[in-house]
Amino acid sequence: MIFSDIEQEMGDYHIYSSLEDVSDKYKYSHRDFDFYRRLLDLAAKGQDLSLMKITKQAAGSAWDLDKWKFLPITHKVYTEQPNVKWYIFLEADSYMAWTNVLELLSLYDPDEPWYLGSTHFFGDVAFAHGGMGYFISNRAMRDLHRIYDGKHINEWEKRISEGCCGDVELAAILSEAGVNITSVPGLYGESITWFEWDQGRWCEPALSWHHVGSHDVEALWQFESKLLTQEVSHYVYKDLFHKLVEPHLAHTREDWDNMSRDRIMTGSSGLHPDEGRRYKLKTSVGDMDEEEQEDALRDLGDEEKELALDEGFYMKKMRWGELSESEQEDAWNELSDLEKEAHTSLGVCKAACEDWDECIQFFYMTDRCHLHRTVRLGHYMHASAGSEDGDDDEEPVRTTSGWMMDRVRDLKDRVGTCKSVPEWMKEYAENELTKHDE
């Protein structure tokens, strides 16, 4: 089933309205539905909806509208298809590796209340991120619809009107029905260009990608189709890396941003070292009251908290902009000579990467050097014409990315051979089922 803001026909496909079942008191008066009402008006006049101007304000309105869609869509798919084993939810700019997904779902009983996804938190609500895709079993849907009545719908819609996000509210509603999220791996919130190719994920099966463009979809589809012709049904991130990423890596690549972000050195004057690094600052807790201590130590582990309270201080991690001028000077003096000069040229930037054992790639543009400890592919970056003040006589600003190819090879060698996807998934699911039964 395909859903959009309004009901329509597209070729051989019927497009369902994702908002049809929202109460009229919200649909025709609430400010979140301003964009929706404009769409309805244009459709009623027979206008081409693709010509509707999407201003920045309209885009914000469309985002506000999005949170209302999750519950009605969930209800609609169940009423239309009440007997299917699994309900798989996927957004229009996402891509799903179906053979891997079906292998995963085969390990979970649809007659048990499963809500599977990539776990995120909003306050105390654990929810499956909608853009990455999520899976709800038939039993979970039945449990939800046992409490799907007028009284609950009124409460839920009021909460949605005051809330931020549809996937968060859906998780809270499922929890009321006794259905809580179980996390599954392989669901990723960005495209392949953003993915961090590191040793920890190398042998995991890929399930989904988000924010994919037509080029990404075509590349993934061609990759999967070729595998199927070789009678290979499943794949892991390592396979994607070999075919779709590694061929595009090089010692240097001009007009390219490989999205190196771990350590950032900028500026030709003043104190501008490593904006991305978190600096440790000795911070006293002895003068704090109990509430202040609890807030300050919130992100520490139990042992770190106990040590901080015993010794009266802890090492607080702070970004560059949060440091005082004297603290910035101390941090600057701790940098190596290469780090201090990394922004001055491509050669020095590359040397700084070579000097840092963890660095596997770098990015350079005038007065800016970025280093990164995992492999990212990145994307083409057009040379900007002229200077920022509009002087077109100046040379275009060019960017260069590069990878430490020997370290990339070392990464591949360290990983070795991966387990088969069915074996990997079976072990993972068995561990989760054990936790679920406890």
**Residues 106 and 227 grouped into a single domain:** yes
348 part of a folded domain: yes
What is the band of 211 on the pLDDT scale with cuts at 50, 70, 90? very high
Q: Does the pLDDT value for residue 65 go beyond 50? A: yes
Cα separation, 343 vs 329, whole angstroms: 18
What is the band of 193 on the pLDDT scale with cuts at 50, 70, 90? very high
The contacts found for 83-89 with CB under 8 angstroms, 24 or more apart, are 83/138, 84/138, 85/110, 85/137, 85/138, 86/110, 86/135, 86/136, 86/137, 86/138, 87/135, 87/136, 87/137, 87/138, 87/141, 88/133, 88/134, 88/135, 89/130, 89/133, 89/134, 89/135, 89/136
CB 68 within 8 A of CB 17: no
Cα separation, 42 vs 56, whole angstroms: 19
Q: Which of 66, 93, 110 is the last residue of a domain?
A: 66
**Residues 407 and 438 grouped into a single domain:** no
330 part of a folded domain: no
**Residues 343 and 255 grouped into a single domain:** yes
351 part of a folded domain: yes
344 part of a folded domain: yes
**Residues 232 and 291 grouped into a single domain:** no
Side-chain-facing half-sphere of 183: CA atoms under 13 Å: 9
Q: What is the pTM assigned to this prediction? A: 0.82
**Residues 286 and 383 grouped into a single domain:** no
71 part of a folded domain: no
The angle, 0 to 180 degrees and rounded to 10, between the axes of the packed helices 166-176 and 150-162 is 150
Number of CB atoms found within 10 A of residue 391's CB? 8
Number of CB atoms found within 10 A of residue 341's CB? 16
**Residues 42 and 115 grouped into a single domain:** no
Range of the domain at 90: 81-236+424-438
Q: Does the pLDDT value for residue 357 go beyond 60? A: yes
Q: Which of 83-97, 139-153, 180-194, 301-315 is least confident?
A: 301-315
The angle, 0 to 180 degrees and rounded to 10, between the axes of the packed helices 421-437 and 98-105 is 40
Stretch 146-167: mean pLDDT? 92
**Residues 188 and 313 grouped into a single domain:** no
Q: Does the pLDDT value for residue 12 go beyond 50? A: yes
Stretch 282-294: mean pLDDT? 78
Distance separating the N- and C-terminal Cα atoms of the chain: 36
Whole-number pLDDT of residue 198: 86
CB 86 within 8 A of CB 110: yes
Whole-number pLDDT of residue 204: 92
SS3 94: strand
- CA-angle at 205, arms to 202 and 209, nearest 5°: 95
Whole-number pLDDT of residue 292: 78
Whole-number pLDDT of residue 267: 67
Cα separation, 244 vs 234, whole angstroms: 16
Task: Say how many domains are in the chain.
Answer: 4
| Mean pLDDT taken over the chain | 87
Per DSSP, what are the bridge partners of residue 236? 205
Q: Is 352 exposed, middle or buried (0-12, 13-18, 19+ CB in 10 A)?
A: buried
Whole-number pLDDT of residue 390: 46
52 part of a folded domain: yes
CATH of the domain at 362: 3.50.4
What is the band of 386 on the pLDDT scale with cuts at 50, 70, 90? very low
**Residues 299 and 394 grouped into a single domain:** no
184-200 in b/e form (b: 16+ CB < 10 A) is bebbbbebbbbbebeee
Q: Does the pLDDT value for residue 23 go beyond 70? A: yes
**Residues 413 and 429 grouped into a single domain:** no
**Residues 411 and 428 grouped into a single domain:** no
Amino acid code (one letter) for 92: A
**Residues 172 and 258 grouped into a single domain:** no
The angle, 0 to 180 degrees and rounded to 10, between the axes of the packed helices 34-44 and 56-66 is 100
CA 324 to chain centre: 33
**Residues 272 and 287 grouped into a single domain:** no
Q: Which of 66, 90, 111 is the last residue of a domain?
A: 66
215 part of a folded domain: yes
Stretch 76-80: mean pLDDT? 96
Q: Residues 38-52: pLDDT tens digits? A: 888 888 878 777 777
177 part of a folded domain: yes
What is the band of 438 on the pLDDT scale with cuts at 50, 70, 90? low
